[in-house]
A and B are shown apart, each in its own frame.
Chain A
Amino acid sequence: MDDEEARRPPSPPLPRGGPFRRSSWKSPLRGPWLASFLSSALLPLIAICALTGFLSHAAYETDLSGNALFDEGVDFYFFDWPTSPAWLYVATQGLHIITGLAAIPILLAKLWAVIPQLFERPGARSFAHVLDRIALSLLVGGALFVFATGVLNIQIYYPFGFSFVPAHYFGSIVFLAGLALHIVTKLGVMRSAFRERGVVAPLKEDLEHTRPEPPLEGRHTSAPADPAPPTMTRRLLIGTVGAGSVGLAAMGTGQVVGGPLRDLTFLAPRGESAGDGPNDFMVNKTFEAVDIPMEKVGPGWRLRIEGGERPATLTREDLLGMELIEADLPIACVEGWSTTQRWTGVRLTELARLAEIDSPGGLQVRSLQADGPLRQASLNRGQIESPDSMLALMVNGADLSLDHGFPARLMVPALPGVHNTKWVGEMVFS
């Protein structure tokens, strides 16, 4: 026990052996520089991931009736989601998934780099230290929770039992609040570490010149007290983490960009091509999965348009007889994959005119699906008025397949894919 420790008030009895003994953490690579370097790679990724995550929430426009999957508590989405450029949601949600995947190996490396501090003694140096540690547990728990649920969701695997969207949303707020305090607390450590060691200089050391990080003056860090001789350079450690990061990002990119890059998906779930016919592109929910009786989508199908002076009921032939438009629009899924196809259908404004509705401010589109929270979608004024917004009847020159929403589906530029409602039965303007 050194002098400084002897002066301290007695701290609660913590075990002294194993991980609680500083000298049992052997790696010579750990320390404030490594933690800071990983953080400076992690922070921009998390910033983009968080921003695009909240943008995705904004794109769902939960203030429009029928779009809210849960009560987000405070509504601070004060703008209407735009329709231009059409690939907007492809870009924001693609970035969300790509940056999230890329952050995973860096996050794991960062946790490895600072793990000794979980066991630091005394466990509570001061009131401020206690608050820091509570926030840290929220940060670490929130990060692991948000990344785990996200990764499971994109593979359509739900072992957790609760609803994904609110859990991921509130979990990320816990994570980001903890992160904000962590940044405030640790920015000084990062500055000192980079000033003393240089930002990239430690990456240039070969094995002979790889030395343990010395402790930082006046700071509690993860630098080892009794390091083992190095067996790996910092360059190799960072390089391996970076390779993992780039690899995961590439798999995500394959799903977002598609085309020739589709093969990059490899282990990500949306790399398969279903064939090369006009309807052979990715499906988010098959017809078989939604339990709509066959006769409802047969010749007896009718589209009901309501909300105006003259409610209308149309057959598919009626719709095909109207003025048709064609547009290349993407389906961009919240799971981070997208696919752009050529759609043919009737402009939403045409349908409003037919039912004698003057400049509708909202539209609710309902599917024939009997249940499911996403069987309906609400659109804002801009989305109704976009010249490319349509009730689509055909894709790539052929009738829609049942899996893609026959007899008719909604297609609106920049709308999250799941809101491009399939098997539409009813449209209510307001």
Chain B
Amino acid sequence: MGGGDGVLLRRFAYEYGSNPLHLLAALAALLVSAWALAQALGQLEPPGKFVVWFLGAILLHDLLFLPFYAVLGRLAERAFLRGEARSRLRVAALNHLRVPVILSALAFLVWYPDILAKSSEGFENATGLTKDVYLGRWLLLTAVLFAGSALVLALRARRLRGAG
């Protein structure tokens, strides 16, 4: 009976917090994950390091990395927009700092093993190439980003000042 089913479904939703399909999907997803985790722990040597890296990735990102850059962002905001009116120029200046910082930091985050020449001996063994060039390139990229952003800000400044 449709009516009976409806009551049952509502009851299920009340007790469980979602519909039965959700429970099926959740169980399937967790089973597959559990299987893959068990395989990884069974096959990887040492298994402890896998756990450390898996949990460490979450903790490092959520409790260290993200709060760190969020606080940094808020400090910059305070420094640029403190006290008197938030003029359009000041807001723009803040953003002309934010964008090159974000892009430069992103490049560093992804390529830091290159930039800091991590495992450079293994790299030279494997490739016959050197990692010595990357620090200079990253600094160049950073310089270009900041200079470009400053240049655009300078070009915009007159108009922004006029607008108040």
A398 within 8 A of B: no
> Knowing A126-B16, A267-B111 touch, does A284 contact B102 (C-beta < 8 A)?
no
A314 within 8 A of B: no
Question: Would you give the 0/1 interface string for B109-130, flagging 1 where the beta carbon is closer than 8 Å to chain A?
Answer: 0110111001100110111111
Interface residues of A in 254-295 (CB under 8 A from B): 266-270, 272, 274, 282-286, 288-289
Q: Can you list 18 A-B pairs, Cβ within 8 angstroms, ordered by A?
A: A73-B35, A104-B110, A125-B17, A129-B17, A135-B29, A138-B29, A141-B54, A157-B123, A159-B119, A167-B53, A170-B37, A173-B32, A181-B28, A181-B30, A207-B91, A247-B107, A267-B110, A283-B126
B157 within 8 A of A: no
Residue of B nearest to A135 (CB): B29
A166 within 8 A of B: yes
Shortest CB-to-CB span from B70 to chain A, Å, is 8
B125 touches A171 (CB 8 A): no
Expressed in whole angstroms, the Cα–Cα distance for A144 and B65 within the complex equals 12
B22 touches A185 (CB 8 A): yes
A161 touches B16 (CB 8 A): no
B residues in contact with A159, CB < 8 Å: 118-119
Known: A166-B40, A181-B26, A231-B81. 11 other contacts (CB 8 A): A72-B39, A127-B16, A140-B61, A141-B58, A171-B54, A173-B32, A180-B28, A181-B25, A184-B21, A185-B22, A274-B128
A243 within 8 A of B: yes
A269 touches B54 (CB 8 A): no
A residues in contact with B141, CB < 8 Å: 266-267
- Top 5 closest A-B pairs, CB basis? A126-B17, A128-B17, A144-B57, A128-B18, A173-B36
A residues in contact with B26, CB < 8 Å: 128, 131-132, 135, 181
Expressed in whole angstroms, the Cα–Cα distance for A288 and B126 within the complex equals 9
Expressed in whole angstroms, the Cα–Cα distance for A226 and B37 within the complex equals 40
B residues in contact with A162, CB < 8 Å: 44-47, 49-50, 53
A236 within 8 A of B: yes
Residue of B nearest to A290 (CB): B125
Q: In the complex, how many residues of chain B place their beta carbon closer than 8 angstroms to a beta carbon of chain A?
A: 72
Shortest CB-to-CB span from A290 to chain B, Å, is 9
Residue of B nearest to A241 (CB): B102
Residue of A nearest to B58 (CB): A141
How would you classify the secondary structure of chain B's contact residues: helix, strand, loop or mixed?
A: helix
B16 touches A141 (CB 8 A): no
B152 within 8 A of A: no
A274 touches B95 (CB 8 A): no
Interface size class of A (residues with CB under 8 A): 35 or more
A115 touches B129 (CB 8 A): no
Which A residues contact B (CB, under 8 angstroms)?
Answer: 19, 26, 70-73, 101, 104-105, 108, 111-112, 115, 118, 125-129, 131-132, 134-135, 137-138, 140-142, 144-145, 148-149, 151-152, 155-163, 166-167, 170-171, 173-174, 177-178, 180-181, 184-185, 207, 229, 231-232, 236, 240, 243-244, 247-248, 266-270, 272, 274, 282-286, 288-289, 403
Expressed in whole angstroms, the Cα–Cα distance for A167 and B111 within the complex equals 21
Shortest CB-to-CB span from A205 to chain B, Å, is 15
Expressed in whole angstroms, the Cα–Cα distance for A379 and B28 within the complex equals 36
Expressed in whole angstroms, the Cα–Cα distance for A104 and B17 within the complex equals 33
A residues in contact with B64, CB < 8 Å: none
B residues in contact with A181, CB < 8 Å: 25-26, 28-30
